[in-house]
Structure 1
Amino acid sequence: MEQKLLLFDHVVVLMLENRSFDHLFGYLGKGEGLPPDGAVNYLKPGDTTSPAFHTRKGGDFTSVAQGPSHSLKQTNEQLYGTTRVPVGTPATDAKLNGFASSFRTSLEYDLKRQPTESELQQVMNCFDPVQLPVLSTLAKEFVLCDQWFADVPGPTMPNRAYVHAATSQGYTYNAGWKPKFTCDTLYDRINATEGMSWRVYYHDNNDVLELYPDVRKTPQNNALFESNFLNDVAGDRLATYSFITPAFIGSPEQPVNSMHAPADVRPAEKLVADIYSALRAHEPVWQKTLLIIVFDETGGYYDHVQPPKAVSPDGIAGLTEPAYLVPFGFDRLGLRVPCMLVSPWFEAGVDSTVYSHSTIPGSMIEAYRLGKFLTKRDKGAAKLTDKYLLKNGERTWRSDTPDVTVPIQPEAMDLMQKEMLAGSVYLDPHPESRNEMRTRDIRDPQHAKQFIRTQVAKNLEHYFASRGNGKVGETLSAGNQAAAPSVSASRIDELKASAGHRHPRGVRP
């Protein structure tokens, strides 16, 4: 068979976190976004007499509490309206009507109270393209894959496992990031092929290192993203395959840029812009590099497209221990996530082929002749090979690739903001809690905002429960419900019910 020439010497994959296609691009006007009339979920799935939550233009940069759940159990509810879905249930049975209901479960656990309807609305909110100028520009100007699905209807770790190895070996949950997988990986295939190389760029967590300790490594295989990626691009030293993990843990100097709720999404926009702009600024590297930007899973945010059926990668059933896990046969994919293929060789377009994360190792193995496929999943997955990775003599170099504008980033607090934060402790209804030391370790604006809002809400709740009597308010307690940034009627009722009962110091929320 005639050997076709590769279009790219380098493939760079950035896997971000926890956003659905509709959530980011439902209003983009490109690809299969939201239906013209929008979509709705009822608080009780399918019950039109319960509160309705419609898709709405305007996403939330940060989330309430920890954001929507994305465990297999809660994703089942989002898809089917119930948490227990028998193995073998057809993917076509999914009605995608349980997002609001699932979010209520998450918020009740996080907030220790009943969430408000405005809080529940977040799960259905979808970004206006102007809110995400970097991602929206790249999605409009290059190839947008609008039928790319997570491999597991569940959380981060098993889905990241599929981009590395086309299987999670039965794991449907994060398992504390402790599994040590024994399967072959894309990196093993690259190691076994002469002239091929790989490199992982990480900010903090390095899932390849954690999950696959047996993969043979060299001093060049794992590098901090800061300075190393930019220097490798500038020096034309990129590996054949590069995988970039974002920052999951933030600091004032380096905020979380993974897009994982509840963190602000705007630092991820800057990360994407930094990667894209570095490549574009060095034309010899830009011409021979494909950038793939993809999300691991939906994070529990609404999407309206049914996931398709799938083949089990290795016949391993989903784990059912610990006991809170629910069965799964790996016979259907997870929900739809955004994916963009970015290269100056590609005209703007939409690719509606059904892809999943296993497409990436499968395409690399096929196009770069790295040997046999890893599992049945990457073997059967649609490939990028013929459409994008091989030269066809028809593509022309684009000189009109766009600049991107990074949105204003969340900033560290200034002196006045720090004073306001410290002063907010004096709103606390309980005198023993009015200590500025409580705010000493709060350094980022998001945390500070939540703290101040909680102090305000707490003050108002005690005011209403005590009818404005501060001395009475000091004695009230809502031990069953943690204080939160929004005023809660149920907390007020509990505070009222505690009137007349003295409580030991240090136990009143």
Structure 2
Amino acid sequence: MSDAEPHAHADPIEHVVLLLMENHSFDQMLGCLDAVHPELDGVRNAAGKSNSDGKGHTYYLRETRERQMKHDPNHEHEAVMKQIADNNSGFVRSFVNDFPKSSVAARQDVMGYYPYGFLPALHTLGAQFTVCDRWFASLPGPTWPNRFFALTGTSQGQTGMPSGLDGLNPHWYTEQDQDTIFDRLNAAQKTWKVYFYDFPASLLLKNQRRAENLANYHRFDSFFQDAAGPADAFPHFTLIEPKYFGEAQNDDHPPHNIMKAEKLIADTYNALRSNQALWERTLLVILYDEHGGFYDHVSPPADAIAPDDHTGRFDFKRLGVRVPALLVSPWCEPGVCHDTFDHCSLLKYLSDKWQLAPALGRRTAQAASIGGAIRNSGAARTDTPAFIRVTNQSLIAEHAELERKSSNGNQHGLHTFADYLHAELDRLAADAVGASAQLARTANAWVRFKSGLGSLMMGFGQWLSKDFYAAKDQREARTSDAVIRLKQVVKSKPD
């Protein structure tokens, strides 16, 4: 496929589904597809490029079949800037800095790529639909700011994740109050839904916690029912958030078994593909928010447009590492789109298609749209895969203990944010008491104190107690419960 040409977005797409995954690079997941699409900038073009660990060993891009990466490479802003320095030569050295006792094999994992056919969902879809081989994360950094970009066109100057004292004073990430794609859809009277498993990270966006927006949040199970129903009743825009917690975590974040993410991708595709009327009018965008610290050989562009004036920490001219991105639709041909995209490119497409205004930031206004990769004439393809299967055996984790013990920055941040929501809901409950307000404030202050003390003691108890896993389950359940409470309280509040 040649480079996409700009055109009016009068394509047949009426429904756009965004499946936003986590933490893998393009070379690692899709670089092997140059065996199918010779024009793809994949692993063959990385031949001869290397990373040194600073300990006398040199590492090249090599095939891997490791389903569970035992370590979680650093992908914070400062680390990523070092990784992409000197033409992307700092990935392994960054890893060794965080894991100085790591093995040679573990360091090679950072430079690993999956051979064609190993990933049943991504590789099948990548061979049969459009691969975007120059889609970069919106900034060199971790999950949250990149997800903010994907849904709002900006991170309001933030480049990191909450940690340390930020966890005790989370103001900067509870006040992400910029307009979102959902606000624009509301104004244009376009329907949307967010399907989630345990805790939707999009609730970090303040506007999403309004009653009218919370009503559009639904558990993932209902996605299958909606996808099997009338095409006209399916939302115009859908965001699917994977499961972030527990042994069934399927967001693709190490060290969880990557085949669980493959099953989520396959299940999403199969549900859409099984409803012919819906399938013929749908675009599924499979996208990873950032690279997770894994190697990619393409140096990110340094001429990006800052989304706004929040440039105190970073000028936002450098994009992040190249990430896996697929456009899946009967209106997308098998092949490669070489246009330079970042997460704002999807926002640009949606804005042009549905005349959503004003633009979500300067970068979105000037971004290249993915629309040029979508055919707008002829008939829908009839040769697309009818079903993708991920075997049950492949879902069994080789190192189950890693999945049970795993904990990462995204999880810690969501836990802290859930605690913030619980505290706010306690405050709302106290304010609603009326005549007995003073007594209620005293009682709820005691509840909040006990809750805070309980969280502290739970952390200490997890260290001391043999019942670590039960405490972990309780922590995850409390985080999930915050969503239920928020919806109930906001729904019951008078206008």
Shorter-chain TM-score: which interval? 0.7 to 0.9
Contact 2:331 2:376 in 1 (8 A): no
- Looking at structure 2, the residues matched to 344 and 96 of structure 1 have their Cα atoms a distance apart, in angstroms, of 36
Query: Which secondary structure state, in structure 2, belongs to the residue aligned with residue 310 of structure 1?
Result: coil
Could you tell me which residue of structure 2 aligns to residue 406 of structure 1? 390
Match of 1:199 among 193, 199, 209: 193
CA distance in 2, matches of 1:347, 1:363: 18
> Offset of 1:396 from its aligned partner?
3.9
CA contact (8 A) 1:297 1:334 kept: yes
SS of 1:41's equivalent in the other structure is strand
Distance 1:276 1:211 in 2: 27
Q: Which residue of 1 aligns with 2:256?
A: 263
SS at match of 2:132: strand
Give how far 1:35 is off. Answer: 3.1
1:200 aligned partner, one-letter code: V
Task: Give secondary structure in 1 for the equivalent of 2:324.
Answer: strand
Report which of the two structures shows the higher radius of gyration computed on alpha carbons.
1
Counterpart contact for 1:200–1:222, Cα < 8 Å: yes
**Greater CA deviation, 114-123 or 35-44?**
35-44
Equivalent of residue 69 in structure 1, options 70, 74, 80: 74
- Alignment-derived partner of residue 180 in structure 1: 175
Question: How far 1:294 moved relative to its partner?
Answer: 0.4
Q: Does the CA contact (< 8 Å) of 1:23 and 1:59 recur in 2?
A: no
- The answer as to whether partners of 1:199 and 1:241 remain within 8 angstroms in 2 is yes
State whether residues 19 and 298 of structure 1, in contact with CA within 8 Å, keep that contact through their aligned partners in structure 2: yes
SS of equivalent residue, structure 1 residue 188: helix
User: In the aligned structure 1, how far is the partner of 2:8 from the partner of 2:25?
Assistant: 38
Where does residue 377 of structure 1 map in the other structure? 363
Q: Is the 8 A contact 1:10 1:289 kept in 2?
A: yes
Q: 1:149, 1:335 within 8 Å by CA — same for their partners in 2?
A: yes
Q: Provide closer, same or farther for how the CA distance between residues 42 and 279 of structure 1 changes in structure 2, counting only shifts above 3 A.
A: same
Equivalent position of 1:352 in the other structure: 338
Cα 1:35–1:299, aligned 2, differ >3 Å: closer, same or farther?
same
- Pair 1:42 & 2:42 matched: no
Displacement of 1:220 in angstroms is 4.0
Matched residue, 1:483: none
Q: Which amino acid aligns with 1:172?
A: T
Match of 2:242 among 237, 246, 257: 246
Give the alignment's TM-score, normalised by structure 2.
0.73
Provide the alpha-carbon RMSD of the alignment. Answer: 2.6
Contact 2:184 2:356 in 1 (8 A): yes
Name 1:502's counterpart in structure 2.
Answer: none
Q: Does 1:54 align with 2:40?
A: no
User: Is 1:199–1:242's contact at 8 Å kept on the other side of the alignment?
Assistant: yes
Any idea what SS the aligned residue of 1:367 has?
Answer: helix
Counterpart amino acid of residue 298 in structure 1: H
| Preserved CA contact (<8 Å) 1:318 1:330 | no
Aligned to 2:184: 189
Q: Does 1:142 align with 2:125?
A: no
1:95-114 equivalence runs, <5 A: 95-108=87-100, 114=101
Within 5 Å, give how 1:354-369 maps onto structure 2: 354-369=340-355
Distance 2:385 2:466 in 1: 49
Tell me what 1:15 maps to. Answer: 20
Note closer, same or farther for the CA distance 1:136–1:443 as it changes in structure 2 (3 Å cut): farther
Query: As a proportion of its length, which structure holds more helix?
Result: 2
Deviation per residue, 1:192-225 (Å, 9 max, x gap): 113x111111112212222224664256410111
Match of 2:141 among 154, 160, 163: 154
1:234-263 Cα deviation digits (max 9, x unpaired): 113321110011011024xxx110001121
Q: Which amino acid aligns with 2:53?
A: L
- Alpha-carbon deviations, 1:315-358, whole Å to 9, x = none? 21154xxxxxxxx2101100100100001122211000001001
Letter in 2 for 1:192: A
> In 2, Cα distance between the equivalents of 1:331 and 1:100?
24
Matches within 5 A, 1:194-343: 194=189, 196-213=190-207, 216=210, 217-218=212-213, 220-226=215-221, 228-236=222-230, 237-251=233-247, 255-308=248-301, 309-319=303-313, 328-343=314-329
Say if 1:209 and 1:441 are closer, same or farther in 2 by CA, change over 3 A: closer
SS in 2 for 1:229: helix
Deviation at 1:26, TM superposition (A): 2.0
User: What is the TM-score of this pair, normalised by structure 1?
Assistant: 0.71
- Find the aligned partners of 1:3 and 1:141 in 2 and give their Cα distance: 25
Q: CA offsets per residue over residues 244-297 of structure 1, 9 Å max, x none?
A: 11011024xxx1100011211110000011000011111011111110000000
Counterpart code for 2:238 = S
- 8 Å contact from structure 1 (residues 152, 334) kept in 2: yes
Whole-angstrom CA distance in 2 between matches of 1:51 and 1:374: 45
> Which amino acid in structure 1 is aligned with residue 139 of structure 2?
V
Matched residue SS, 2:299? coil
Percent identity between matched residues is: 33
User: What is the DSSP-based 3-state SS (H/G/I as helix, E as strand, rest coil) of the residue aligned with 2:126?
Assistant: helix
Residues 218, 331 of structure 1: alpha-carbon distance in 2 compared, 3 angstrom cutoff: closer
CA distance in 1, matches of 2:28, 2:307: 29
Structure 1 residues 269, 133: closer, same or farther in 2, change over 3 A?
Answer: same
In the alignment, which of 15, 26, 33 is matched to residue 31 of structure 2?
Answer: 26
Distance 1:22 1:38 in 2: 14
User: Highest relative contact order (Cα 8 Å, sep 6+), 1 or 2?
Assistant: 2
SS at match of 2:226: helix
Q: How does 1:428-443 map to 2 (within 5 A)?
A: 438=466, 441=469
